[in-house]
Structure 1
Amino acid sequence: MNNRQRTISREASFTGPGLFSGEPTTLTVAPANEGTGITFVREQDGKAAVIPALVQNVMNRPRRTCLKNGTLFVETVEHCMAALSGLGVDNAVVRVSGGQIGELPGGDGSSKPFVDTILEAGVVDQEAEIEPLIIRKPVQVSLDGATIAALPGPTDCLEILYDFEAPAPVGRQLVSFRLGDEDFAKMIAPARTFVFEQEAKELRARGLGKHLTPKELLVISPEGPIDNVFRFPDECGRHKLLDLIGDLYLTGRPIRGRIVACKSGHKLNHIMARRLLEQEESHQRQNLVHRDAEMDIRRIQRILPHRYPMLLVDRVLEITKNGEKAVGIKNVTFNDIFFQGHYPGTPIMPGVLIVEAMAQLGGLLLSRKLEHTGKLAILLSMDKVKMRHPVVPGDQLILEAVAVRVKSRTGHVRCKSFVNDKLACEADIKFMLVDAEPV
């Protein structure tokens, strides 16, 4: 199996009306550098918004997946994302121009037009290796009678089993596919979006899809497709599996393991993508605990003025090369002085001290910026503070700080703290950076 990242060799485009809106738009797929992932660029009225294809940028929309940055959107991206995932494209820029809402061209309602466009351009290997997201522990999510389970499985592909059931003439359809091993372009990509006759009437009443006829969209009556034929006996199940592949690629990485889905739609697919990212982030944090420290307590003391009992960062495990993120540890023991009064019978670490520990890590992160050498981070404000899980003696509090905006005199960091894989606390913290007083 190919372990190299891949992009496309040249630009390729196609134009057509959006599936829901009917507005004509042009989609252009272009090469991208290693490690940049899939990025949409929405071009409208002389403005352009860069929208990474990540589940964090999903906006809630019925029956489709929408990505947003500010006031600009790209709508119905799932078929394009499925094509990129199915063909093993790790890095690409997808430009969307024309129309008012930025809906991608719908084509025939399948991934085939996107697959054809990508294959026309050609897919090429890059030097960097793939970093797959491996499912390590079972995860299950449910919503309105639908379920998705993610399970450990093969580490060289993603096995998917989709169980779909609908009224006659569709019935129950059980579809299996090995993403990264079997032929997506032939087996899954041609499966089209479908609606039942009553749904089609309701959509038209709302002004959606008026440009389409049953010859162009798979409309299913109790007797079967209207003015159309199925491409596969289980085309509906295959298309639901196609949507799942596209939505899960919003993790930003190819997934390895096993997925079992029953009646899932876009909303539940997005929930699973978020849960898989949370599991991977937890795994990475646990791996950091066993690495050599970026800063031990002696180096921390050279930067922070805090001392017992207010120095609440025992070790810095990692500070990224670009200085955007830091991970640290606070080991919580019964000997910590605050447990004498909070509370003697039920010792719980005060929330304000958890926030203080996160703020100290944020100060250490900001200190790595060259222009902040010798500066002291003074707390300016806190926002969106939420306590999620109690911290007790014996816990190891893993602290995380991510730089949001950093200037010469101010800094804004987004902080979280975890106990194992449970989120304990989160907060947005702003600092004023002042000259440290000589000792």
Structure 2
Amino acid sequence: MNTIHRKTIKESLTLKGIGLHSGKTVTLRLHPAPANTGLVFFLYRGINKIRIPISLDHVVDTSNATTIGDGSSNRIQTIEHLLAAVHTLGITDCILEIDAVEVPIMDGSSLPFWEGIRSSGIKELEETIEPIRISHPMWVVDGDKYLVMLPSDELKVTYNIDFNHPLLRGHSYTTKLDETILGEDILPARTFGFLKDVEALQARGLALGGSLDNAVVLTDDGYLNESLRYENECVRHKILDLVGDLAVMGRPFYGHLIASKAGHALDISLAKCIMSKVTGDELTSFKSKRVPLFTKSEMAQ
């Protein structure tokens, strides 16, 4: 395997869009960062700037989207579309400034983030980063939903969805997930929802920014949208979400992901399972390689 270097962006970048739930304009700014900074949000609230790192320890909610927080009332939601693009391009270190509690939905996919970061340029740093490679199968299960990761020298996925809808029953998609395939076949896939659910959410003051401009909307027996980007756009978007959620681990990862009816909660559960095992293995490996400071004879003196 080739050495993987940490990366940041070359120039600052500003992206504007609306929040999916608030319907209000959101400004997101990305800035270059030194190696080992990681991915860190700064949420602007009035004159205050609140720091919220992107990490598993800071994930506070996985209902409908992945949300991070600082342990109090400060939160940033719907980070997964942005992270899918960041992961695809290998960005490990970046400062993200935002003036609202949700990442802009843009067109409902990761494409605007991917294109924006590419246009700003990517800077390879001298420091390297160790990818996550598992040595045995790992899985999480919730009723008839499951998510498995098998050992593999490359990243690939087999994803199955099965919604109670005539157009979304038993869809399955298998593909490798290298940078080219992610950029061309996965990141442009838009989020999707059901018209009856959208109407119910909007009645509660949520999903106010949702529209046909940023989502695939399904009626009882079809689509409201005039066209799709892919025939199986919905299952591709589920893969996008999975990649973005696992990117919260903060490191490149390899394995064969097998998912059935999964979602943000299972994605984050698998990430925690992986990191707990990987961290344990790495600590064990470190201890086994550690050279004692003193020999037994010296310790006896």
Q: Same fold (TM over 0.5)?
A: yes
Change (3 A) 1:159 1:181: same
Deviation at 1:144, TM superposition (A): 3.6
Change (3 A) 1:288 1:2: closer
Structure 2 counterpart of 1:104: 103
Deviation at 1:60, TM superposition (A): 1.7
Structure 2 counterpart of 1:149: 148
Q: Secondary structure at the match of 2:162?
A: strand
Q: Secondary structure at the match of 1:127?
A: strand
Structure 2 counterpart of 1:410: none
Q: 1: CA distance between counterparts of 2:3 and 2:190? A: 28
Aligned residues: 296
Residues 192-238 of structure 1, C-alpha deviations (whole Å, 9 max, x = no match): 11001221122122211234333542111133211432110110000
Task: Read off the aligned partner of 1:232 and give its amino acid letter.
Answer: Y
Change (3 A) 1:227 1:183: closer
Q: 1: CA distance between counterparts of 2:260 and 2:158? A: 9
Conserved? CA contact 1:23–1:103, under 8 Å: no
Conserved? CA contact 2:13–2:29, under 8 Å: yes
Deviation at 1:254, TM superposition (A): 0.8
Q: Secondary structure at the match of 1:182?
A: helix
Q: 2: CA distance between counterparts of 1:201 and 1:263? A: 23
Q: 1: CA distance between counterparts of 2:203 and 2:292? A: 61
Conserved? CA contact 2:190–2:214, under 8 Å: no
Change (3 A) 1:2 1:9: farther
Conserved? CA contact 2:10–2:121, under 8 Å: yes
Asked whether 1:209 is paired with 2:207, we answer yes
Asked whether 1:162 is paired with 2:176, we answer no
Q: 1: CA distance between counterparts of 2:177 and 2:62? A: 26
Asked whether 1:94 is paired with 2:108, we answer no
Deviation at 1:291, TM superposition (A): 2.3
- Which residue of 162, 176, 179 corresponds with 1:178? 176
The 4+ residue runs of structure 1 with deviation greater than 4 A are 293-298
Deviates more, 1:174-183 or 1:121-130: 174-183
Q: Secondary structure at the match of 2:37?
A: coil
Q: Secondary structure at the match of 1:80?
A: helix
| Structure number with larger C-alpha Rg | 1
* Alignment TM-score, normalising by the size of structure 1: 0.64
- Which residue of 269, 272, 277 corresponds with 1:271? 269
Deviation at 1:49, TM superposition (A): 1.7
Task: Read off the aligned partner of 1:153 and give its amino acid letter.
Answer: S
Task: Read off the aligned partner of 2:227 and give its amino acid letter.
Answer: V
Q: 1: CA distance between counterparts of 2:250 and 2:82? A: 14
Structure 2 counterpart of 1:387: none
Asked whether 1:26 is paired with 2:23, we answer no
Structure 1 counterpart of 2:257: 259
Q: 1: CA distance between counterparts of 2:51 and 2:292? A: 33
Q: 2: CA distance between counterparts of 1:84 and 1:179? A: 14
Structure 2 unmatched runs, 5+: none
Q: Secondary structure at the match of 1:89?
A: coil
Residues 29-52 of structure 1, C-alpha deviations (whole Å, 9 max, x = no match): 111111222111111111112211
Task: Read off the aligned partner of 1:41 and give its amino acid letter.
Answer: F
Structure 1 counterpart of 2:63: 62
Q: Secondary structure at the match of 1:7?
A: strand
Q: Secondary structure at the match of 2:171?
A: strand
Change (3 A) 1:211 1:151: closer
* Alignment TM-score, normalising by the size of structure 2: 0.91
Deviation at 1:240, TM superposition (A): 0.4
Conserved? CA contact 1:88–1:180, under 8 Å: no
Q: Secondary structure at the match of 1:208?
A: coil
Asked whether 1:242 is paired with 2:243, we answer no
Asked whether 1:292 is paired with 2:290, we answer yes
Q: Secondary structure at the match of 1:244?
A: helix
Q: Percent identity?
A: 28
Task: Read off the aligned partner of 1:60 and give its amino acid letter.
Answer: D
Conserved? CA contact 2:107–2:213, under 8 Å: no
- Which residue of 173, 193, 196 corresponds with 1:195? 193
Structure 2 counterpart of 1:343: none
Q: 2: CA distance between counterparts of 1:294 and 1:23? A: 59
Q: 2: CA distance between counterparts of 1:251 and 1:119? A: 22
Conserved? CA contact 2:19–2:209, under 8 Å: no
Structure with the largest fraction of helix: 2
Deviation at 1:296, TM superposition (A): 6.0
Change (3 A) 1:27 1:2: farther
Q: 1: CA distance between counterparts of 2:214 and 2:53? A: 31
Q: 2: CA distance between counterparts of 1:283 and 1:2? A: 20
Structure with the largest fraction of strand: 1
Structure 1 counterpart of 2:227: 229
Structure 1 unmatched runs, 5+: 302-439
Instruction: Write the mapping of 1:354-393 to structure 2, written as runs, cut at 5 A.
Output: none
Conserved? CA contact 2:105–2:214, under 8 Å: no
